[in-house]
Amino acid sequence: MNNTKLVKYTLLAITLTSVIALAMITIFLILQGMKPFFATDFDLNIIDFFTGDTWKPNQGVYGIGYMIVGSILATLGSIILVVPVAILTSVAIVEFMPTKIAKPFTFAIELLAGIPSVLYGLFGLGVLVPLIRQVSPTGSGQSLLAVTLVLAMMVMPTVIALTVSSLKAVPNSYRHASLSLGADKLQTTFKVVVPAARSGIMAGIVLGIGRAIGETMAVTLVAGNVTGGVPGSIFDMIRPMTANIALEMGYATGHHRELLFTTGLVLFIFIMLLNIIATRLAKRGEMR
């Protein structure tokens, strides 16, 4: 067997391993997550589980509807904060900053992207929560707002890094052609360069959403983790799905444990959908 075939089969084996691992995870989550709804000794309506606004396992009440709402609101809120700041920062780094200044900014962003999420949570608990407590009508700093801000800080370096890469990938011929037609630097940037990098930017945003909705430790520290109630304002406490799994998996047994797997299955489906969207956006960009 020559070296070419050896490399080919090695890469094929690695690819198949990844696919098999993903398939095993998916099958395991489906089997464990759907088990409670088919158990003869356990009466739980699947609609009540997904729409319920109370989670009290010790009383036999299982509803993750308010967790889904809280997770989605926190994720959307963080993305709304991140997107304009990330795009403008990336544009400034790639198009307007001198190289000597842009390099330290890029290094700092890469450093922030590598910080463990629990440290963002500790910062939120020690700094953001006390600040929010001072203005919150509920008297508690742990809230939807705190989760949103912490997720925004976490997601922003990732979105900026991917956006910077997308902007750098735009051929300089696009810029030169626009400038030669009389457009100034600002017009060229926002009417030519940014639209040309749109698919990469969108993929970065979607991946940022995936990281936000899947975050655990940071949100657990600042969410409040209430046992029920759909948030009515940004100052209300929430209980993200990830936090629910992390808080209770260590002691849960029986159907309680299985329903935590069901919560994980819901989270898994959300993230898979986001990855599919990101892949399609990337392919659309290649076609253009």
Is the pTM for the entire model greater than 0.85?
A: yes
Residues, the chain: 288
Question: Cβ distance 62 to 44 under 8 Å?
Answer: yes
pLDDT in tens, 210-235: 888 888 889 999 999 998 899 999 99
Do 169 and 203 contact (CB within 8 A), yes or no? Answer: no
pLDDT, tens digit (0-9, with 9 covering 90-100), for 71-104:
989 988 998 999 999 999 999 999 998 888 888 8
Q: Using H for helix, E for strand and C for coil, what is the string for 99-167?
A: HHHHHHHHHHHHHHHCCCHHHHHHHHHHHHHHHHHHHCCCCCCCCHHHHHHHHHHHHHHHHHHHHHHHH
As given in the structure block, the two tokens for residue 278 are 């990101």
Axis crossing angle, helix 241-248 with helix 65-91, rounded to the nearest 10? 120
CB of 224 within 8 A of CB of 140? yes
Residue 63 CA to residue 85 CA, distance in Å, equals: 36
d(CA 238, CA 70) in angstroms, rounded, equals 6
Q: Residue 282 — very low, low, confident or very high, per pLDDT cuts 50/70/90?
A: low
pLDDT band at 262 (very low <50, low <70, confident <90, very high): very high
Give the Cα separation of 218 and 240 in Å (integer): 11
CA distance 98 to 117: 31
pLDDT reading at 283 higher than 80: no
Report the C-alpha gap between 54 and 270 in whole angstroms.
21
What tens digit of pLDDT does each residue of 132-157 get? 999 999 888 999 999 999 999 999 99
